[in-house]
């Protein structure tokens, strides 16, 4: 029997980082006191009228351009439903004429995922369900905070191009990096700035698509991957047991790692979309779109390629380190350090592993200087890391002066010989086994020398000295 293929399409809701809501001047602010950022428009009071936020449109266009979409004339629709999290009983969204359509993202591993559309809409209020389990089923009443009602969103809908939970995770990670890079969102999944719904089906390769289920509100990369993997396995088990997959909306339980039915197709909503009569068409001019395009920040893919171009031999480990550096916004510092003379590979590795993008960073010159001292053997790796830590207190400090102050005197060969002699004399049987061919014991003696020198010895020099002593 041939293997099953998992088909995944994702819908990602991204909250835009504007000062105000999409259709009124209330603050767009996460975490404020409930119902303090509300006005007649976002409370749906009679007679109020929405006016579109220019800043939100600009961020939405930035997203469209970054995702290689065509930015087109668009209109707004009302999506009608009766849940109390939208006080108007409808959500203003875009339907058959979205602002952005037909783009793609290239993932770091080389695959390309198509973007169907990226349209604008407003977020809903936040419901807290009382009684029962906290989930909706079993709740006897709900409390609503409308601070989030009307916050601008862009919903990014992918083509069903992904084939594994790992790939879906990579897609959301790259999408998040792009959205953050263009300044559209802070990308905080745990605060709901990005929320993911996954459409999952299975088929034998070459067959038509199977019946799909939609898993709602996945709020972390880990949950996304787990939910997709669980759901695909569930569907395969059903089909192999002679049953069939029922089209439905499911939710993912973080505790159990399983998906469960939320609502079936029988109660699927009929949103009765119709054009929003209170808003006129949105038709961004070519000049405005070009201006936004010319001000677009460099995208993560270009930034990774720029950094990789500075190193000679590209290894998979280095690709990962570069991805980390760009992901943490450290690439500007690393590039500046390389320009100031730091060896590229070492600067990338030290930035990825030793620097905290959210904290104080060393100046490019001080960072470059530390890398150079390490590359020349003046500092051991351990010492270089300590100098980097010390630079947090004086970002423009002179690495050589800091090293002196910390007592990091480069060991001369004679001193190293003395320490190594002592280590061998103290452990004659281990030395004999090393000489007899037990290579693992080289590390044992490196450890002894490092302990005796409190990490001041240069690791590479120690290894070379040990190897040289072997008969």
Partner 1 sequence: MTNPNPLTEADVIKVASLARLELRPDEVATFTEQLGSVLGHAQDIAALNLEGLSPMAHPFDLENVLREDVVTPSLDRDAVLAAAPDAAEHRFRVGRILGEAP
Chain residues binding partner 1 by CB under 8 A are 18-20, 24-27, 33-40, 43, 51-57, 73, 75, 79-86, 91, 124, 127-129, 136, 139-146, 216, 251, 262-263, 267, 269-272, 275, 277, 279-285
Taking every pair of Cα atoms in the chain, the longest distance, rounded to a whole number of angstroms, is: 93
Q: Considering the complex, state which of residue 262 and residue 379 has its C-beta at the smaller distance from partner 1.
A: 262
Closest CA to 221 of 169, 299, 154, 265: 169
Q: Which is nearer to partner 1, 147 or 167 (CB)?
A: 147
DSSP, collapsed to helix, strand or coil, labels residue 265 as helix
Residues 243 and 252: their CA atoms lie apart, in Å, by 22
- Quick one: 88 or 251, whose CB is closer to partner 1? 251
d(CA 107, CA 129): 39
Is there a contact between 199 and 11 (Cβ–Cβ < 8 Å)? yes
- The least distance separating partner 1 from the CB of residue 191, rounded to whole angstroms, comes to 18
Q: Whose Cβ is closer to partner 1: residue 38's or residue 368's?
A: 38
- State which residue, 55 or 459, has the beta carbon closest to partner 1: 55
- We find the least distance from the C-beta atom of residue 194 to partner 1, in angstroms, to be 17
CA distance 43 to 41: 5
> Pairing relation of β-strands 248-253 and 213-218?
parallel
Q: Least distance (Å) from partner 1 to the CB of residue 297?
A: 19
Rounded to 10 deg, the angle between the 221-240 and 165-181 helix axes is 150
With respect to partner 1, which residue has the nearer C-beta, 24 or 227? 24
Q: Pick the closer one to partner 1 by CB: 281 or 447.
A: 281
Q: Compare residues 56 and 224 and give the one whose CB is closer to partner 1.
A: 56
Coil, strand, or helix at residue 75?
Answer: coil
In the structure encoding, which two tokens stand for residue 55, read together?
């800043």
Token match 């630079």: residue?
391
The vertex-52 CA angle with 48 and 54, nearest 5°, equals 145
- State the nearest-atom distance from the C-beta of 244 to partner 1, in Å: 23
DSSP assigned state of 412: P
Structure tokens at 362: 């060393």
Write down the least CB distance from residue 233 to partner 1, Å.
24
Strand order across the beta sheet in which 90-93 lies:
90-93, 77-80, 274-275
* Tokens describing residue 404: 């002196």
- When the beta carbons of 164 and 249 are compared against partner 1, the nearer one is 249
Length of the chain (residues): 471
Nearest-approach distance from CB 97 to partner 1, in angstroms: 8
Nearer residue to partner 1 within complex by CB, 18 or 201? 18
Question: In the bound complex, what is the minimum distance in angstroms from residue 37's beta carbon to partner 1?
Answer: 5
Contacts of 434 (CB under 8 A, 6+ apart): 441, 442, 444, 445, 466, 470
Shortest reach from residue 251's CB to partner 1, in Å: 8
In angstroms, what is the minimal distance from the CB of 167 to partner 1?
A: 26
Q: Give the span between the Cα atoms of 413 and 460, in whole angstroms.
A: 12
We find the least distance from the C-beta atom of residue 34 to partner 1, in angstroms, to be 5
Contact predicate 67/293, CB 8 Å: no
């Amino acid at each position: 029997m041939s293997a099953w293929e998992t088909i995944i399409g994702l819908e990602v809701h991204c909250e835009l980082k504007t000062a105000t809501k999409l259709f009124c001047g209330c603050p767009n602010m996460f975490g404020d006191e409930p119902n303090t950022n509300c006005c007649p428009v976002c409370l749906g009071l009679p007679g109020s009228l929405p006016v579109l936020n220019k800043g939100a449109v600009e961020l939405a266009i930035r997203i469209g351009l970054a995702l290689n979409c065509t930015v087109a004339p668009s209109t707004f629709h009302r999506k009608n439903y009766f849940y109390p999290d939208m006080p108007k009983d409808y959500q203003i969204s875009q339907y058959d004429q979205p602002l952005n359509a037909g783009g793609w993202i290239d993932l770091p591993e080389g695959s390309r995922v198509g973007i169907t559309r990226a349209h604008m809409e407003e977020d809903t209020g936040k419901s807290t369900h009382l009684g029962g389990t906290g989930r909706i089923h079993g709740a006897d009443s709900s409390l609503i905070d409308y601070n989030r009602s009307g916050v601008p969103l862009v919903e990014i809908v992918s083509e069903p191009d992904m084939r594994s939970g790992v790939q879906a995770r990579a897609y959301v990670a790259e999408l998040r990096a792009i959205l953050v890079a263009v300044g559209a969102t802070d990308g905080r999944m745990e605060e709901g700035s990005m929320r993911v719904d996954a459409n999952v089906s299975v088929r034998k390769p070459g067959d038509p698509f199977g019946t799909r289920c939609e898993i709602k509100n996945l709020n972390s990369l880990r949950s996304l991957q787990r939910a997709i993997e669980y759901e695909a396995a569930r569907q395969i088990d059903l089909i192999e047991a002679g049953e069939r997959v029922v089209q439905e909306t499911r939710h993912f339980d973080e505790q159990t790692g399983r998906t469960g039915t939320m609502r079936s197709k029988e109660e699927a909503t009929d949103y009765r979309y119709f054009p929003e009569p209170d808003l006129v068409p949105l038709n961004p001019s070519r000049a405005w779109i070009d201006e936004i395009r010319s001000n677009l920040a460099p995208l993560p893919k270009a930034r990774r390629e720029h950094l990789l171009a500075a190193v000679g031999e590209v290894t998979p480990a280095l690709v990962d380190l570069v991805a980390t550096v760009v992901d943490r916004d450290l690439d500007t510092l690393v590039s500046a350090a390389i320009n100031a003379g730091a060896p590229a590979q070492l600067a990338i590795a030290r930035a990825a592993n030793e620097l905290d993008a959210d904290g104080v960073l060393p100046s490019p010159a001080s960072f470059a200087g530390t890398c150079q001292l390490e590359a020349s053997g003046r500092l051991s790796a351990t010492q270089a890391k300590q100098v980097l830590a010390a630079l947090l207190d004086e970002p423009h400090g002179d690495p050589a002066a800091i090293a002196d102050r910390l007592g990091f005197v480069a060991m001369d060969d004679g001193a190293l010989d003395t320490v190594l002699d002592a280590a061998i004399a103290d452990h004659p049987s281990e030395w004999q086994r090393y000489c007899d061919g037990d290579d693992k014991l080289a590390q044992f003696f490196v450890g002894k020398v490092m302990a005796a020198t409190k990490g001041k010895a240069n690791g590479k020099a120690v290894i070379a000295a040990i190897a040289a002593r072997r008969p």
